[in-house]
Amino acid sequence: MDKGILTKAHDYLPGWIKKYWEKDKGYPYEAGEGMIRRPDVVIVNDPTKPPTQDNIKHVVEIKFGTDDFGKTQKEEYAKIAGNRHKVKQLDENECDCGNEKDDNASEVSTAAAWAAAIAGTLLYFISRGKIPRPRFPLPKPTPAW
């Protein structure tokens, strides 16, 4: 965690390890030895407090394809969470990240693009041409079948 903000993750963990924790500086870390574990997601009970064991609701590991959530990794995540029941796995069957197209999302993004273009045009006229001319979204081509 960040030294100044207890609820913020450290910006660059490899740099912190290199600076404060590497073996050549007398510390126990050795690269590639699996000594560092960072779950993909940590869900806390109270987001205004750091993710200590008493504040962790779940740690989540996301696995896709042939990536395996091994026994050792599960055990180490249980140590992080403080309880094996707090460790959860999310895979491609549960993530709702299929290739289905969300028509509503494209309608919203098209409307937002037009709104931005109209607002840009107003600003262009108000500034008397001192800002770049806005670009309007091009209509999607209609299939000719």
Q: 58 with 32, same domain?
A: no
- Weakest mean pLDDT among 52-66, 95-109, 123-137: 95-109
Work out the burial of residue 117: count CB atoms within 10 Å of its CB; fewer than 13 is exposed, 13-18 middle, 19 or more buried. middle
What is the pLDDT averaged over residues 41-60? Answer: 90
SS3 (DSSP) at 45: coil
Range of the domain at 58: 41-98
Instruction: Note whether 47 and 75 are same-domain residues.
Output: yes
pLDDT tens figures, 81-100: 999 999 998 887 776 655 55
Same domain assignment for residues 30 and 51: no
Distances (CA, A) of 33 to 36, 37, 123, 125: 8, 11, 57, 61
| 52 lies in the same domain as 30 | no
- Please report the pLDDT score of residue 136 as a whole number: 58
Give the mean pLDDT of 34-42. 77
Query: Are 79 and 117 within one domain?
Result: no
Residues 118 and 129 in one domain: yes
How many independent structural domains does the chain possess? Answer: 3
